[in-house]
Structure 1
């Protein structure tokens, strides 16, 4: 994940805005050369970044709302766990999603599916937001964790052989499958406006009792939150997370709309199906979605 300023600067170096798609593709290819051939890369560009600096998972996570920033989160091969990237591009000529596409991505007919991280890109384009909702609706009624949001554009997907047009819109993400995965999400609504309320939301997340080893945290926040939302005080939500989860690294972004709800999935126990409220309650603005994903205990 990288913030928009990083890519804008690269484009300006080329002297023309339309260099974006070429620059993004070249950046993706350069990154992919650093990794083993079987490593799959998914890259997105967002207005801002949440990152835990390298060194220790207990380092203070930073909400970087202004300036160039980015991070790479690498998942090792883990026995019993499958992580699959997916990409559905909005195509006016073929508006329907084929069932086999969802099955191949691990999103349907997959009893071990536990978590889906999902991101809509270029959602300001006509029909793009509705397309995102249509994609998510195909798997939102399952007993899984859903979290993500709307980002500026797609920077990289290993499977792409040619650069996307600047106006291309679609949905990308990761499906995480495996009986050992445990996960939980909480939603910080627009009414959460001070440190005390933010900590109370993190207490709800802690009450899920997700193991804190082999666990990563995600934060998907609206660009309207951050230091402006908290009366010019910065890093409020990331600090509240660190207070209750001292050893879990936190990553994420400031985006243009959030996806998620209060939910726990641990083994056979599910607290609240998101569809108990209406499906559109998965989609929010001026909120933050916090997620924990536990990838199982080492054998």
Structure 2
């Protein structure tokens, strides 16, 4: 015959099993519920090893976890990588998939793909709803000091960490309409006739009034765009932009979640990314067909370095003409990217080879004095914030 004490203990076990509460059995049939509280410092150590999606889930557990997870995400560095497209995208769920290296919460993703790499359908599913990803398809890609001039299956990508003090606005045009994507405003404005500069200027003017303190512009155009209508003719750029970078792509795509939260990928003719914020700093320059030697490229980048003051999140961009590279330097590989990394060893570099480059020299009193679009050139830009 069991004692009342033993009966109560058994009943407690049944009740706790129903509620799935872990219990610990001690001597004399005593049962206790363990109350283990992870300290702030222990959580910091654990969370430092988690991916961004796991940290995002952790913010919903309790206030302590939310505080630690948000702090950890705040200080995550930007992601720059150079891989082949099958490793990065083709096997969703595999260890090599790009989402398994997604350690930060990105606000903007730039994917430079080889000419045979179509943007993956799963891309937007792994990025936050507020994040916009841009895919630039060309014959070659650049990652740090590697210049893959003819690369059909290479992918170089950069994921810029979210920062509440940074504002990003994207103006993109499809074949039938143009839209303006306001970061964090969940608002999309659309107008027709995107080929006409006269229709573009009012929308850009509106963006300039809203953003006010614009630090840089990234601009890409597709080869299908009517390049007789030059975007650089827009006076609003000349009066408000101090740093600019970009180029012409064989194909150009943009991906973001729609109003229902479903990621959508669109083929666009051109897009302009305007970045503003108190803590944002940006500088750009270029070398053209008059810069035929390594010494002239080094001189231009050293002049750029004299202006640069790096902050927490920093990335370098490079867009080179397909005519430059190995043939330009007598068979020598990776010349310009190697020079950049020599002068800026701590700045990750990413970019593409294309047939038309955009850039200005930000150190000039009149940055647009040399124009925005170039041929046989390489354009550079450094973006830093945080």
Which TM-score applies when normalising by structure 1? 0.75
Which range moved further: 183-192 or 229-238? 183-192
**Residue of structure 1 equivalent to 2:314:** 215
State the superposition RMSD in angstroms.
2.6
Q: Deviations over 1:268-294 (max 9, x none)?
A: xxx42224x26xx21100001111111
Equivalent residue for 1:19? none
Following TM superposition, by how much is the alpha carbon of 1:219 offset from its aligned partner in structure 2, in angstroms?
0.5
1:144 aligns with 2:247: no
2:365 counterpart residue number = 272
* Structure 1 residues 247 and 157: CA distance shift in structure 2, 3 A: same
CA distance in 1 between counterparts of 2:303 and 2:164 reads 30
Deviation at 1:2, TM superposition (A): 3.4
Measured in 2, the distance between the counterparts of 1:201 and 1:142 equals 23
In structure 2, the CA distance between the partners of 1:3 and 1:100, relative to structure 1 (3 Å rule), is same
Q: Any conservation in 2 of the 1:180–1:295 contact (CA below 8 Å)?
A: yes
1:230 is the counterpart of 2:329: yes
The answer as to 2:384 corresponding to 1:290 is: no
The alpha-carbon deviation at position 109 of structure 1 amounts to 4.5
User: Match of 2:147?
Assistant: 63
- Give the Å deviation of 1:213: 4.5
The match for 1:36 among 128, 132, 138 is 128
Cα pair 2:113 2:154 within 8 Å, conserved: yes
CA 151–224 in structure 1, closer or farther in 2 if over 3 Å, else same: same
Aligned to 1:2: 112
| Shift, 1:91, TM fit | 4.9
Deviation at 1:5, TM superposition (A): 3.4
Map of 1:205 onto structure 2: 304
Could you say if the C-alpha distance between residues 178 and 117 of structure 1 is closer, same or farther in structure 2, counting changes exceeding 3 Å? Answer: same
2:264 and 2:317 map into 1 onto residues whose CA distance is: 29
* 2:315/2:383 contact within 8 Å kept: yes
Counterpart position of 1:79: 164
Unpaired segments of 5 or more residues in structure 1? 8-22, 53-60, 265-270
Q: Deviations over 1:28-60 (max 9, x none)?
A: x311111222322221212211113xxxxxxxx
Which one scores higher on RCO, CA 8 angstroms, separation ≥ 6?
1
In structure 2, runs of 5+ residues without a counterpart are 1-110, 178-191
Q: SS of 1:262's equivalent?
A: coil
Q: Residue 263 of structure 1: SS of its match in structure 2?
A: coil
SS for the counterpart of 1:74 is strand
Partner of 1:122: 223
284 and 88 in structure 1: CA distance in 2 versus 1, 3 angstrom threshold: same
CA shift at 1:89, angstroms? 3.3
Contact 2:216–2:241 (8 Å) recurs in 1: no
Indicate the larger mover: 194-203 or 223-232: 194-203
Cα distance, 1:141–1:88 mapped onto 2, change above 3 Å: farther
Whole-angstrom distance in 1 between the partners of 2:312 and 2:342 = 16
1:17 alignment counterpart: none
Structure 2 counterpart of 1:113: 214
Q: How does 1:234-245 map to 2 (within 5 A)?
A: 234-245=333-344
Name the residue aligned to 1:174: 273
Tell me which residue corresponds to 2:252: 154
- The separation in 1 between residues aligned to 2:376 and 2:209, in whole angstroms, is 30
What SS does the aligned partner of 1:232 have?
Answer: coil
